[in-house]
């Protein structure tokens, strides 16, 4: 964002910012349509994936954790390359291709119990879904930058995050009813149907004419193509020590997000009565419900506060919330944990993406987003390799349980992120000020 645009943004009232935001182009709202639909489909499957693999495919706790961790890690691994694919193909084509891969993967996963080669089907479907999501995610943020007013950049990125979470809310509230009537497979087929519907809508509505007409930020492809390999290499954020510190210091707190699908489903099913477990998705749905409204409001109210300060406050809240689960399990404490954890997420999550997107040139947003996902890849990929062991040790399916120690250990790990941000705050703020 240029200095003049930044000044204009600072002078806008919150009401004016929202007015400009909601008058965004058709292309921007089509990007959000994909975002909304994939929020339903992706998390509708992810929230039940450990249960599906463990119960339907017969894998142990440890192998299930590894399988889900490999999948979620692969999503971010593909984002490294998916960002370049997005920049190369353009937003419209990248959305269509990624949705097609996702549809095929989701259909294969749901049908995998019907085949003798269950393992091959499972891993093939997970690979297709990981590839599709790996291209889709950076494409969404590239679309937010290309098709929205630069004066409302903080809101446009926060709305991408909020709309995705609104999709999760819809999925979380309808999933238990579908699961009661047809099992997890019925939920997964519904998610595939949502995927198919969104793909058809994009094929029909998101034409090349719409893409060219609604693009606000021009991509300087010709300038970039004239650069030598060495000049292109110098523009990569991976060579910026402050940038790399900024993204890697978030690794510990990001493990808590991975535990929402690796640990939380088993925690609720094993440590609470069946009446609570049968509505597991409703508890999971509280987080995105809060995020849907809190993220845009937090972004609008704190748009003048520098990113590092917001990251420190938000990660402290997110990490500290974990200790709410240290006492014996109760529904009240579970709900309180979700509320506080969500508040922390709302404070810092979208500001992280705003920082990355503003740092990147228009034609390289996808690549920057992919590289910024390195620590997220490590968090998702590594967490599953110990989550199954921790489940069997502290909250096994049968025998004595000690869930409080489990969450206390995880909370201590998460606190390393705000501590790291505090120690490097002045150094990283200097880098951010130079970008302004």
Domain ranges of the chain: 26-216+229-435
- 3-state class of 325 per DSSP? helix
Whole-number pLDDT of residue 47: 83
Tens of each residue's pLDDT in the chain, 436 residues:
444 444 444 555 666 666 766 666 788 889 999 999 999 999 899 888 988 888 888 777 778 888 888 888 788 778 877 777 887 888 899 999 999 999 999 999 998 888 777 778 888 999 999 999 989 988 888 887 787 766 666 667 777 878 888 888 888 888 888 988 888 999 999 999 999 999 999 999 998 898 888 777 655 544 445 555 555 556 666 676 777 787 788 889 988 888 887 888 889 989 998 888 877 777 877 888 888 888 778 877 777 777 788 889 999 999 999 999 999 999 999 999 999 999 998 888 767 777 676 666 656 666 676 677 777 677 766 787 788 889 989 999 888 899 999 999 999 999 999 999 999 888 877 655 545 4
CA distance 407 to 240: 34
First and final C-alpha spacing in the chain? 7
CA distance 34 to 140: 8
Whole-number pLDDT of residue 77: 79
Contact by Cβ (8 Å): 86, 376? no
CA distance 296 to 18: 9
Write out the two tokens for 404. 């409080």
Whole-number pLDDT of residue 433: 52
Whole-number pLDDT of residue 322: 95
Write out the two tokens for 113. 């119990």
Contact by Cβ (8 Å): 171, 39? yes
Whole-number pLDDT of residue 223: 46
Contact by Cβ (8 Å): 30, 202? yes
* 9-14 contacts, C-beta under 8 A, 24 or more apart: 9/150, 9/151, 9/152, 9/153, 9/154, 9/303, 10/303, 10/304, 12/151, 12/152, 14/300, 14/301
Q: Phi and psi dihedrals of 228, rounded to 5?
A: -75, 170
Residue matched to tokens 């009401």: 15
- 3-state class of 99 per DSSP? helix
Note the CATH architecture for domain 26-216+229-435.
Answer: Up-down Bundle (1.20)
E runs forming strands in 353-410: none
The reported pTM is 0.68
């Amino acid at each position: 964002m240029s200095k003049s645009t930044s000044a204009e943004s600072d002078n806008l009232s919150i009401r004016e910012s929202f007015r400009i935001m909601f008058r965004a182009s058709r292309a921007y709202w089509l990007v959000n349509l994909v975002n909304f639909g994939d929020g339903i489909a992706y998390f509708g499957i992810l929230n039940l994936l450990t249960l599906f693999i463990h119960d339907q495919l017969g894998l142990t706790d440890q192998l299930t954790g590894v399988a889900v961790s490999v999948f979620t890690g692969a999503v971010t691994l593909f984002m490294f390359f998916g960002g370049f694919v997005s920049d190369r193909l353009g937003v419209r084509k990248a959305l269509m291709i990624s949705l097609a891969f996702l549809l095929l993967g989701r259909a294969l996963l749901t049908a995998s119990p019907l085949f003798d080669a269950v393992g091959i089907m499972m891993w093939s479907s997970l690979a297709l879904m990981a590839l599709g999501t790996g291209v889709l995610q950076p494409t969404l943020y590239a679309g937010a930058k290309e098709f929205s007013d630069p004066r409302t950049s903080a809101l446009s990125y926060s709305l991408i995050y909020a709309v995705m979470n609104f999709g999760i809310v819809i999925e979380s509230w309808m999933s238990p009813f579908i699961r009661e009537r047809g099992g997890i497979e019925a939920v997964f087929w519904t998610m595939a149907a949502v995927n198919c519907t969104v793909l058809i809508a994009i094929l029909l509505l998101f034409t090349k004419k719409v893409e060219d007409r609604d693009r606000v930020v021009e991509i300087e492809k010709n300038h970039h193509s004239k650069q030598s390999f060495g000049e292109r290499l110098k523009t990569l954020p991976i060579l910026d020590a402050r940038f790399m510190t900024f993204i890697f210091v978030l690794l510990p707190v990001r493990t808590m997000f991975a535990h929402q699908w690796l640990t939380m489903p088993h925690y609720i099913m094993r440590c609470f009565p069946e009446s609570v477990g049968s509505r597991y998705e409703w508890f999971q749905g509280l987080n995105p419900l809060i995020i849907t409204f809190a993220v845009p409001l937090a972004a609008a109210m704190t748009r003048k506060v520098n990113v590092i300060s917001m990251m420190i406050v938000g990660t402290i809240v997110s990490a500290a919330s974990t200790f709410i689960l240290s006492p014996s399990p109760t529904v009240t404490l579970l709900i309180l944990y979700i509320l506080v954890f969500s508040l922390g997420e709302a404070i810092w999550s979208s500001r992280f993406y705003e920082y990355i997107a503003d740092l990147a040139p228009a034609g390289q947003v996808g690549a920057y987003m992919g590289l910024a996902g390195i620590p997220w890849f490590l968090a998702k990929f590594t967490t599953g390799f110990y989550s199954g062991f921790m489940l069997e040790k502290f909250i096994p399916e049968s025998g004595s349980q000690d869930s409080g120690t489990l969450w206390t250990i995880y909370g201590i790990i998460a606190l390393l992120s705000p501590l790291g941000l505090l120690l490097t705050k002045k150094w990283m703020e200097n880098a951010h000020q130079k970008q302004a």
